[in-house]
Structure 1
Amino acid sequence: MSAILPPPRRIWWKEPVDKVEIIWIVIAFVWCMIMFFMMPYWHVYGKQNLSPETYKVRPELFARASQEMVDKYTVRTETELKIPVVAPPAGSDVYLIARLWDWWPILELEKDKTYRLHLTAMDYQHGFSLQPENINIQVLPGYQHVITIQPNRSGTYAIVCNEFCGIGHHKMVSKLYVK
């Protein structure tokens, strides 16, 4: 038989299935079933799931709460723009604002302490991406997203906007310190 000529029998579905093919089909089916049942399990019992807490909020009220936190817990300022660095106590509500083209303020959190992080956008849709932890949240104007976080490693983390938000999008980065 050659590749140019068609096979002698043209009804391929009546051909017997080889043993190796059956083995691979069984392996693929078993793996699909394992993944099918693991997805709901990971969703319910996995510790990697973020809180689905989201509320409607008026931007001026969120800005006021953020400013109160900054006035109360500022420890220093950074960058040429004098962005405040706040170190709130453990267990407190922490506010982070996304606006063209920065994150405000810079947060300094304690290792192994729990915080409630409130996020909102003041103008357009932004994306909160905490690297290298790979936490991604879509931040929308008019909504506050609340995430309960407990940093477990010290260091400096990068906060990056991962939703295109205009001409200065590439400069929308900030830091999060964990001490």
Structure 2
Amino acid sequence: MSAILPPSERLWYKHPIDRVEGTWIVLSLTWCLIMFVMMVGWHVWGNQNLSTETYRTTPEKFMTAAQAMVDKYTVRTEGEQKTPVVAPPPGADVYMLGRLWNFWPILELKKGEKYRLHLTAMDYNHGFSLQPQNINIQMVPGFEHVLTITPNQSGQISIVCNEFCGIGHHTMVGRMYIKD
């Protein structure tokens, strides 16, 4: 028999399935169902996946809200570009945007307090990877992602763009400060 020639019987699916083959099909389907239920269960009961609210927005509208927050809560500036460091009160809506090739502004949050973090990209798709918490969001222009975060360790937290966004992608890093 050759693989080049067509099968002698064209209705191959009408042949009985061998017992071993049937066992593997049942095992595979059972495992797929278990994994599906676990993914849903981990999201609902395991607190493993991030649930985000997503809204349509415009760069102008988001920038207006972010600038209002920066104007109200800026405590200092850092770096050559004089990036504002913003310390909003606990429970506040905080805004951060990604644009070529930085995150703006720098946030200073309190440990153990909840914040609603609003994220968007101003120009191209960017990634928002908060390390070491392992929060990963793809920021898409025209969409505002809102997630509730509660920082649980003090210190400096790195923010990395994990979505290739151009020639300066490797320099697109940001930070948050978590105070006690």
SS of residue paired to 2:111: coil
Q: Which residue of 2 aligns with 1:156?
A: 156
Distance 1:33 1:61, change over 3 A: closer
Q: Which residue of 2 aligns with 1:82?
A: 82
* Residues 167-178 of structure 1: pairs in structure 2 closer than 5 A: 167-178=167-178
Distance 1:32 1:57, change over 3 A: closer
Q: Which residue of 2 aligns with 1:71?
A: 71
Shift of 1:31: 6.8
Shift of 1:86: 0.2
Distance 1:28 1:143, change over 3 A: closer
Q: Report the number of matched residues.
A: 161
Distance 1:159 1:28, change over 3 A: same
For structure 2, the residue ranges without an aligned partner over 5 or more in a row are 1-16
* Residues 84-163 of structure 1: pairs in structure 2 closer than 5 A: 84-163=84-163
Q: TM-score, normalised by structure 1?
A: 0.81
Q: TM-score, normalised by structure 2?
A: 0.80
Shift of 1:133: 1.2
SS of residue paired to 1:51: coil
Shift of 1:30: 8.0
Structure 2 counterpart of 1:136, which letter? N
Distance 1:29 1:177, change over 3 A: same
Shift of 1:80: 1.1
Q: Which residue of 2 aligns with 1:52?
A: 52
Shift of 1:134: 1.2
Structure 1 counterpart of 2:72, which letter? K
Shift of 1:52: 2.8
Aligned-residue identity in percent: 66
Q: Which residue of 2 aligns with 1:7?
A: none
Shift of 1:34: 4.9
Shift of 1:35: 3.8
RMSD of Structure 2 on Structure 1 (CA)? 2.3
Shift of 1:97: 0.8
